A and B are shown apart, each in its own frame.
Chain A
Amino acid sequence: MAMLEIEELNAWYGASHVLHGLSLAVEPGEIVALVGRNGAGKTTTIRSVMGLMPKATGSVRFAGTELLTLPAHARFRLGLAYVPEERRIVPGLSVRENLQLGLLAAGGRIDERAAIDEIARTFPRLKERLDQQGVTLSGGEQQMLAIARAMIAGPRMILLDEPSEGIMPVLVEEMGALFRRLRDEGVTLLLVEQNVEWALRLADRAVIIDQGEIVHSSSAAALLADKAIQERYCAV
């Protein structure tokens, strides 16, 4: 069974129809790169999966469970986490509290201290700043915090919306290593990226979206080698 299976997805912002019958499957334990030019519908696809679109039809199944009929908050409890493009570090909260937000849904079933210790080992930069306000972190650190918050409760799959955007190259490399490690531990990743080269080197498979439809699907290596298709659909 696919981890995430999207079929005939249509989505609207008010009257504007943005996704047109999009279908896409992500198998357990793989990294799929979802690329496409600005405004193609990448964020909308993720937002539909997360239940954040005002209107979406079709079918989205996560590990066999239909999501479109569930309230938005049900997804995280099924093991589906999301790192939004804007990171959404909550103002007024410390780094530690932002991490704790990722543990709320577990309702005490996860030992908070142990989980934060473990996440601090993965993200040493956060460890030194646990009691600092989250919004005072640098952009890269905020991105790390958003990823840490999404993975602290041990999700089965993470949707990442342009995690490398505006981040120093060394941090991007660190992030790549982290994503590989997560995949090796069995976590499934859907990676939306504008940094196509980087994403394709990391991913197992690649999917291109254009004007709300999937227009190409192949192994990541094949797309990496095919400059013509990249030019056609991913050039800014």
Chain B
Amino acid sequence: MDAELIAMQLFSGVALGAILVMVALGLSIIFGMLGVVNFAHGALFMVGAYAGLYVATLTGSFWWGLLIAPLAVGAFGMLIERVLIRPLYKRSVDDPLLLTFGLGYVLVESVRIAFGNEGMPFPTPPELSGVADLGIGYFPIYRLFVVGVVAVVLVLLWLGLEKTRFGLIVRAGARDPQIMRVLGVDVAKVWLMVFGLGVGLTALGGVLAAPMRSVDPEMGALVLAEAFVVTVIGGMGSLVGAVVAGLLIGIAVSMTALFAPEMATIVMFALMALVLLIRPQGLFGKPGRA
């Protein structure tokens, strides 16, 4: 086993992790602010991939798919929040959970009816095909691109949260929505946008992931499970936690696939169990927060 192979596998893990980060961030932002565990998040990842494929085929350009799909699916997310989830806030926490759980199935079946059961290939855009020699080995350009996009999105998110008025509302509203109302902030409007943002992120993850695999109606199921593991390890509602744990899981899965392929899916659950034993609130979670 040579160093080059390990480096490549490690990088593969980072790319995988980068996708997970997008999905888990969306999950975590929505949970942190709205207190809603969005079980439709995996299905929306899948819808993002299909939307990307659809737009890319229609326009003949991957770039339009990459741009439009997250925006369109994010807007769809806002519609879901406004119409389906908002009436449930005053009820028990289980209600939004059950609703999104069911919604996930509806989305998967709808896509099945519209596009069929079979997986569909999502071609890598020609300008991003091939490999690049980075001196320590050859890396697929598309994966480098994915990591780059995710890095840019993370920086933008961080700037948005830390440096803008909207970011201040989001950070404060996650901690104390009631004081925000008293200070004149329409929290419902903020929740709407946060839900749209979270869904847009998972859809972006879906489009980015598609060329590295194929697109099929079930593709969101495993991703959702992985994203849950990531948020549990990182700490529910912690954004830094989602980033660190997403990369950690990506790398762990990828490395185990190299050394002990049969252990690859188990390893993430083993890691989760370990973290839960040592630090039940997750690596970056605050104790006592449900």
Mark A residues whose CB is within 8 Å of B: 50-52, 71-77, 81-82, 84, 88, 90-93, 97, 100-102, 104-105, 108, 149
Contacts and interface: CB of A to CB of B under 8 A. Distances in A.
A93 to B, nearest CB: 6
Given A100-B168, A104-B169, A73 B179 contact: no
A71 B181 CA distance: 9
Interface residues of B, number: 17
Nearest to A87: B179
B179 A104 contact: no
Contacts of B176: 88, 90
Contact of A105 (B171, B175, B179, B183): B183
Contacts of A77: 184
A71 B179 contact: no
B244 interface: no
Nearest to B189: A73
Contacts of A101: 168, 172, 179-180, 183
A76 B182 contact: yes
A51 B96 CA distance: 25
Interface string B160-186: 000001001101100110111111111
Nearest to B186: A73
B188 to A, nearest CB: 8
A14 to B, nearest CB: 13
B187 interface: yes
21 contacts: A52-B182, A71-B186, A72-B181, A72-B182, A73-B181, A73-B182, A73-B185, A73-B187, A76-B183, A76-B184, A77-B184, A82-B182, A88-B176, A90-B175, A90-B176, A101-B168, A104-B165, A104-B168, A105-B184, A108-B165, A149-B183
Contact of A92 (B169, B175, B178, B180): B175
A224 B147 CA distance: 71
A97 B176 CA distance: 14
Contacts of A81: 182
Contacts of B169: 104
Given A73-B185, A92-B171, 14 more contacts: A73-B186, A74-B184, A76-B183, A77-B184, A84-B182, A88-B179, A90-B179, A92-B175, A93-B171, A93-B175, A101-B180, A104-B168, A105-B184, A105-B185
